[in-house]
Amino acid sequence: MSAAPLAYGIHLSSINARFWGEAAELADRLGFESVWMPEHVIVPLDATGSPHQGAEHSPIPSNIPVLDAMAVLGHLAARTSRVRLGTHVYNIGLRHPVLTARGAATVDFLSGGRLDLGIGASWLRSEWEALGLDFDTRGRRVDESIEVCRRLWTEDVVEHHGEFFDLPPTAFEPKPVQQPLALHIGGDGPAALRRAATVGTGWMPMNHSLEQLPASIARIGELAAAAGRTTPVQITLTGDVADEADVERYVAAGVTRVLVQPWRNSREALDGLRRFAERFLPDAAAA
């Protein structure tokens, strides 16, 4: 089979965390482009709502095991050599940006520049309130957090006095290996499109159908051109790939990376990765 014009990543959300290391190692050997993990800080018992349109209740139970994203990615970095390592998505507004910048720079440094930091404004009001933060100002807080992080990752000395954060003049080392560090913006609204166009390596829509994507991608292009950007924006979508017709539909819609989960449960994950690689990754190693 000829090489598909798509990058394929795997999403670990439906695999028991005990198997994440083994799955990442196998994905690395088989030629998958990236491995992505879910992220939350805390899910209160009274959590309501959903990131998915049409869903009335939170799909996340309060007792779901939650691991620290940067610690996990550092662990996966040590177990892999090539595959990129991502968050889908990291709730950047829930932390002080210095802590986000430090964790992300650490993972990128230790992995040799393989971090894909997917970030979002988040949707779970009770998570923000449990951490003593104002959910209704999260957009401005996210924008300021991104600004502070990007400056810490690139400038020799940073001083910042904003709406939410104040930093005295400070140095920040080491810098990420990637310059700029890859930011993938999660979300579907105007603010997410603006961030993707201006500061994002890529965009990760959450509630777009394939038919809806071209219009939003065109809007990102308009915003990017207005900002003087000349580099393309990667488009990452979670979905299923069963045959060449699926591949063609993703490509026609403007998708550049598909995050797949070719298994029904954790025990089937490794075999599912091998089957997918045999069909869609022509250079897959026998593993």
How far apart are alpha carbons 202 and 118 in whole angstroms? 9
240 in Cβ contact with 246 (< 8 Å): yes
With respect to residue 287, please indicate whether it lies within any of the assigned structural domains.
no
Whether 286 is covered by a domain: the verdict is: no
Share in percent of the chain as helix, strand, coil (round to 5): 40, 15, 40
Give me the amino acid identity at 148. Answer: V
- Radius of gyration, CA atoms only, the chain: 19
Let me know if residue 2 belongs to a domain: no
Determine the Cα–Cα distance for residues 34 and 24; give it in Å rounded to an integer.
Answer: 9
User: Residue 81 domain-assigned?
Assistant: yes
> What CATH number does residue 208 fall under?
3.20.20.30
Does residue 79 belong to any structural domain of this protein? Answer: yes
Instruction: With respect to residue 115, please indicate whether it lies within any of the assigned structural domains.
Output: yes
pTM, rounded to two decimals? 0.94
Domain of 35 in residue numbering reads as 7-280
pLDDT at residue 282, rounded to an integer: 81
What type of residue is 61? P
Residue 246 lies in a domain: yes
- Averaged over successive runs of 10 residues, the pLDDT of the chain (287 residues) comes to 72 96 98 97 84 66 92 98 98 98 98 98 94 98 98 98 98 98 97 98 96 98 97 97 96 97 96 97 69
| pLDDT score, position 2 | 40
Half-sphere exposure (Cβ direction) of 183: Cα atoms closer than 13 Å: 27
As for how many domains the chain has, the answer is 1
Residue 122 lies in a domain: yes
Instruction: Give the per-residue pLDDT at 287.
Output: 53
